[in-house]
């Protein structure tokens, strides 16, 4: 499981270091220009929307390949503008999934940093980490859910239309990863499970 997480953690670290270096290197004149570009919206923002998501589980000791499963998902973000190019906030991601043995409900809550290379443009990249909460129903074992927690990591990018307005539109692509540990199935527990979630979607931005 640690081996599977290393590439994701490495990419996240690079993104955070680059974002922090760029933000600290801005001059006073650039900061002033960023303030001039600020529209009527406030420093606080909220995003609500949905996406089409694909999930695939994997583990180090699994001999068989797990299938790709597809479902709709719900995503919400809330945060504050730290600098003209950097935002910080929280992200909520929820994805339901049906399996042959029952159903699974995945919930990710992550602290996220969002960086815009160009203050006046809508392109952004983001990264963060937090917790994933998994409710797993295995009908042949019990009518009750098995509740588990996992480390969650998220990486993504997107574009905001009308980035300085009070109301805008956002499109995005993202990957969530959850290091779950043991997962209960109808045939027993599967150790060291890693879940990968890929999403494409959009949402409404309110400032």
Are 99 and 66 within 8 A, CB to CB?
Answer: no
pLDDT beneath 50, residues of the chain: 1-37
Structure confidence at residue 51 (pLDDT):
95
Structure confidence at residue 89 (pLDDT):
96
Query: What are the phi and psi torsion angles at 29 (to 5°)?
Result: -65, -35
Distance CA 136, CA 183 (A): 8
Distance CA 78, CA 154 (A): 15
Contacts for 7-11: CB closer than 8 Å, 24+ residues apart: 8/153, 8/155, 8/177, 9/153, 11/127, 11/155
Q: Enter the pTM of the model.
A: 0.74
Structure confidence at residue 135 (pLDDT):
83
Structure confidence at residue 41 (pLDDT):
59
Tokens standing for 99?
């399996």
Provide the 8-state DSSP code for 151. Answer: E
Structure confidence at residue 134 (pLDDT):
86
Distance CA 154, CA 108 (A): 9
Q: Could you tell me the domains of the chain? A: 2-206 (2.40.160.20)
Provide the 8-state DSSP code for 120. Answer: T
Structure confidence at residue 21 (pLDDT):
46
Structure confidence at residue 97 (pLDDT):
85
Structure confidence at residue 59 (pLDDT):
76
């Amino acid at each position: 499981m640690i081996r599977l997480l290393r590439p994701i953690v490495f990419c996240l670290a690079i993104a955070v270091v680059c974002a922090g270096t760029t933000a600290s290197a801005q001059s006073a004149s650039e900061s002033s220009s960023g303030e001039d570009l600020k529209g009527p919206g406030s420093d606080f923002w909220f995003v609500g929307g949905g996406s089409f998501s694909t999930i695939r589980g994997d583990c180090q000791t699994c001999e068989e390949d797990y299938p790709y499963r597809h479902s709709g998902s719900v995503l919400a973000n809330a945060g504050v503008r730290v600098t003209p190019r950097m935002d910080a906030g929280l992200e909520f991601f929820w994805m339901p999934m049906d399996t042959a043995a029952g159903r699974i409900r995945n919930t990710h809550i992550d602290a996220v940093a969002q960086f815009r290379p160009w203050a006046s443009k809508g392109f952004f990249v983001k990264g963060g980490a937090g917790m994933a909460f998994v409710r797993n129903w295995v009908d042949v074992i019990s009518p009750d859910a098995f509740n588990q927690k996992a480390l969650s990591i998220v990486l993504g990018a997107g574009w905001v239309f009308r980035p300085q307005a009070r109301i805008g539109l956002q499109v995005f692509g993202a990957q969530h990863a959850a290091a779950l540990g043991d997962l209960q199935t109808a045939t027993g527990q599967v150790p060291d499970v890693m879940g990968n979630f890929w999403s494409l979607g959009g949402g409404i931005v309110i400032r």
